[in-house]
Every structure is written in C-alpha cells, then in structure tokens.
C-alpha cells in the first residue's frame, strides 16, 4: 500500500442503513466500515466516504446522508464531517480544507443520474477528488455504478478490509470449499431464487429447502399442500432442478413432517403432521421436529455450510422453531470446529440473530442482492473491476 499521508482516498462504503425517526436503527453496516476507515485515517489519509441511501431518482431531502455522519462518528469514535454534494467546487474546497486523517461523508451519490448510469463524465468528476479508490461495499458490488465499478478503472484501486473478509469467506464457502457442502435455502418463493437453486445443485452435496419454497417442491412431487403459499405453475421448473440435482449427485432434502395452521398469525392453533396429511384448509408454516432432526443429522456429516433464507414463518412464534433449531445446530458445529458456516441476506441475518447464533457462524454477510448473485455463480462488477485494477 502506498504512502497515504495527506492523500485523498475515495472509499465506497455501504451506509444504506435502516432509519427510524431520523436515527439509525441498525448500525451493523456502519460497524463493518470501521476497520477500513480507521486504518486509512490512522495512516494520514483524507478519507472521503461515498455511498447511496434509499432509491432517489434525483436530489431528495429525505435521502440525504447528513444524519449518517454523526451516527458513523459514534461507532468510529472520531469526528466525521459531512458535505452537501459528492462532486463539484464545494466538495473540492471541502476536501482541500481537510487535514491528514480527517473523515468526511459525501452526499448521496444517487442524487446524480451519472451514478447508476456509470457515466464516464460523472466518474471523472468523482475521481478529481481523490488519489486512490477503495471499495469496501461488497453489498453493492453487484451493481456496475460509478462509485462501485467506474472509479476502479481511473484511480489506483484496492479492496477494503470488509470486502476482503467477505470475499475470503465466500471463496472458502463455495469457491474452493471443503466437502461435503450443505446449502440451506429458504424464503417465500422459488421464483426469486431459481438461478441460485440451479447453480447450487451442481456445487453442493446437500441442498436443504425450507420456507414457502419447500411447498412448491412438495407440490411438484404431487403432495397436496392445502392453502399453503405455493407457486404451482413452477412445477416443471422444480422437476428440472431435481433432475439436475440427481445428475450432479446432490441430495435434495424436503420436509416429511410439517407444522400447519389454518391462520397466518402468531400463536395460531397448529399441529404437526406428515406432509401427506395437510388438510385443504391448512397452510404449512414451518418444518416439523423430525424434519429438522434429519437436516441436523445431515449437517453433522458436512464440513461447509452456506445459508440463505429462513425455514418457516420465523417472524411469528411458534413457527420460528425449525429455523431456530437448525441454526443452533449450525452454530454449535461451527463452534466445535467441525464446520465452516457462511450465511447472508437480510431475513437470514435476522433469523440467525433471533436464534441467538449470529456470532457463532464463521461469517454472516449483510449483503442481500450481492450475496444472492454470488450464490448464483455470477461475476460481480464491483469485484471484477478490482481484479482488473487500473484500466
């Protein structure tokens, strides 16, 4: 790494965090950015932070980055300034006035249409501000935007600490994993994860399917799932995925006992039954104990685990039980040293934290779309640009 004293470093971070009444309600992404920011500041760099917030089409006061500066200052434990634009004379003057080691949040990059268009003119305006570029936002690496991809072609480019840790964890999980590998894939709809499932059956030894997705798989196999959430029209696609799995030697695990209820509500009257005993007016809301135990037994034979999505309606008791039980098995196996576990996606993070095991997994990614595209086997523009280096 070059001498950074007095140099301006443009750092793409992800400050797109949940807010409530003007305050940050979950600072996970802010904390993830701290190691890179602190390291650059400690080496005397002028640290210029680029990020988007929300989905503005142009300048939108409700999407300003201004509240993020004090929130970041709290977790960074050093002053963080804010400037009301991300390009132009005002920003250039603010950067010139910074002292070595200062940190400043620039205004929302998406206030400019050139950001999402990856407009070379906008990239050039951003590049004028800095001597180096660091991408520390894996969660935005699936987007080929000016601040996530374009800058890597016009400035000396590096990966930040958080980006490096994420890529290292993902490489161990699916790039060059230790087999047997298990993948837990849950969530509501198969349609949202078709590419994930199609790719995973060629990469893993065990594919464990839960959530509403499991209902679609069961229905495709001729099981009557009552009034459960189910994409019946995807039966041919599901059968094709199962055929691919068989050809690749991947075991697909579907539940054989489930928890059903007639109402989609917390603590609704419920029962556990065999999947072939679901009544016409019942819906499947979780995996049964026997199904979870079977998944746990399979997991105990594995060396690597990739997890995306809950197994049931985990946000409502008692339909969180399946997710919690398997998550705790995964956490315990990881802590004993027998399993490398990587999880990602918003609902997944919430589910693991709900189970109290978020800190027990080897790595938990806060990335949503980028994590899914990685699970699909796709190249991520923000990562590929760093590999190519300066154009």
Alpha helices in 43-106 (DSSP H): 68-76, 89-96
Separation of alpha carbons 380 and 388, rounded Å: 12
Between residues 18 and 326, the one the model is more confident about:
326
CB 201 within 8 A of CB 240: no
Residue 386 lies in a domain: no
Are 54 and 86 in a shared domain? yes
362 is in an annotated binding site: no
Structure confidence by residue, pLDDT tens digits, 156-191: 999 999 999 999 999 999 889 999 999 999 988 888
Closest by CA to 10, choosing from 81, 140, 106, is 106
> Which tens digits make up the pLDDT trace of 124-138?
999 999 999 999 999
Residue 52, annotated as binding a ligand:
yes
> What is the rounded CA–CA span in Å between residue 159 and residue 22?
31
262 noted as active-site residue: no
State mean pLDDT over 56-66.
94
Give the domain extent around 66. Answer: 8-159
251 shares a domain with 153: no
From 84, 88, 226, 346, active-site residue: 346
- Options 29, 186, 330, 358, the catalytic residue: 29
Query: Does residue 106 sit in the same domain as residue 195?
Result: no
Known catalytic residue at 369: yes
Number of independent structural domains in the chain: 2
Alpha-carbon distance 44 to 38, whole Å? 10
In 10 A of CB 177, how many CB atoms?
21
Other C-beta atoms closer than 10 Å to the C-beta of 187 total: 21
Return the pLDDT at 190.
Answer: 86
In a domain, 384, yes or no: no
Tell me whether residue 383 is in a domain.
no
* 85 has a pLDDT exceeding 50: yes
390 domain-assigned: no
Percent of the chain with pLDDT over 70: 99
Same-domain status, 152 and 300: no
Give the C-alpha separation, 20 to 18, whole Å.
7
Same domain for 87 and 195, yes or no, is no
C-alpha span between 331 and 359 (Å, rounded):
8
Query: Is 318 part of any domain?
Result: yes
Q: Which of 7, 78, 172, 189 is catalytic?
A: 189
State whether 122 and 232 are in the same domain.
Answer: no
* 252-289: pLDDT as tens digits: 999 999 999 999 999 999 999 999 999 999 999 999 99
Does 53 show up as a binding residue in the annotation? yes
262 carries a ligand binding annotation: no
Among 98, 132, 159, the domain-final residue is: 159
Task: Answer yes or no: is 2 within a domain.
Answer: no
Residue 348 in marked binding region: yes
Average pLDDT over residues 349-369: 90
From 88, 226, 369, 377, active-site residue = 369
Q: Is 29 part of the annotated catalytic residue set?
A: yes
Nearest to 90 by CA among 66, 106, 113: 106
Question: Looking at the predicted structure, is the pLDDT value of residue 390 above 70?
Answer: no
391: confidence class by pLDDT, cuts 50, 70, 90: very low
Q: Which of 117, 132, 159 is the last residue of a domain?
A: 159
Domain boundary among 134, 159, 184: 159
Same domain, 88 and 192: no
Q: Does 264 share its domain with 283? A: yes
Q: Is residue 1 part of a domain?
A: no
Angle (deg, nearest 10), helices 381-388 and 161-170: 110
- CATH code for the domain in which residue 51 is found: 3.40.50.1260
Same domain, 171 and 155: no
Please state the separation of Cα 272 from the chain's center in Å: 32
Is the pLDDT confidence value at 367 over 90? no
271 and 354 both lie in a single domain: yes
């Amino acid at each position: 790494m070059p001498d950074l004293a007095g140099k301006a470093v443009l750092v793409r971070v992800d400050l797109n965090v949940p807010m409530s009444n003007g305050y940050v309600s979950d600072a996970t992404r802010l904390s993830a950015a701290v190691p890179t920011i602190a390291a650059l500041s400690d080496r005397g760099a002028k640290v210029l932070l680029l990020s988007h917030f929300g989905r503005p089409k142009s300048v939108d006061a409700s999407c300003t980055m201004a509240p993020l500066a004090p929130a970041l200052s709290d977790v960074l434990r050093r002053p963080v300034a804010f400037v009301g634009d991300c390009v132009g004379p005002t920003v250039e003057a603010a950067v010139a006035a910074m002292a070595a080691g200062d940190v400043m949040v620039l205004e929302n990059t998406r206030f400019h249409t050139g950001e999402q268009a990856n407009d070379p003119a906008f990239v050039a305006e951003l590049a004028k501000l800095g001597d180096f570029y660091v991408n520390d936002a894996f969660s935005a690496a699936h987007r080929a935007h000016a601040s996530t991809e374009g800058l890597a072609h016009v400035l000396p480019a590096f990966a930040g600490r958080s980006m490096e840790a994420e890529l290292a964890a993902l490489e161990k999980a699916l790039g060059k994993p230790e087999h047997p590998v298990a993948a837990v894939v849950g969530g509501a709809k198969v349609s949202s994860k078709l590419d994930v499932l199609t790719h995973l059956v060629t990469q893993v030894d065990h594919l464990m399917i839960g959530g509403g997705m499991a209902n679609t798989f069961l229905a495709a196999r001729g099981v009557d799932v009552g009034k459960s959430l189910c994409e019946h029209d995807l039966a041919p696609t599901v059968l094709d995925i199962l055929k691919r799995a068989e050809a690749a030697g991947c075991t697909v695990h579907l539940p054989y006992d489930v928890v059903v209820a007639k109402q989609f509500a917390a603590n609704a009257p419920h029962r556990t039954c065999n999947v072939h005993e679901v009544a016409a007016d019942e819906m499947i809301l979780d995996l049964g104990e026997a199904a979870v135990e079977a998944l746990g037994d399979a997991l105990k034979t594995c060396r690597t685990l990739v997890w995306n999505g809950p197994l049931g309606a985990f946000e409502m008791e008692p339909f969180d039980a399946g997710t919690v039980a398997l998550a705790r098995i995964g956490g315990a196996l990881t802590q004993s040293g027998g399993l490398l576990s990587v999880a990602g996606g918003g609902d997944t993070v919430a589910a693991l934290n709900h189970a109290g095991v978020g800190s027990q997994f080897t790595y938990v990614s806060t990335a949503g779309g980028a994590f899914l595209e990685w699970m699909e086997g796709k190249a991520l523009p923000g990562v590929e640009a760093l590999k190519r280096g300066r154009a």
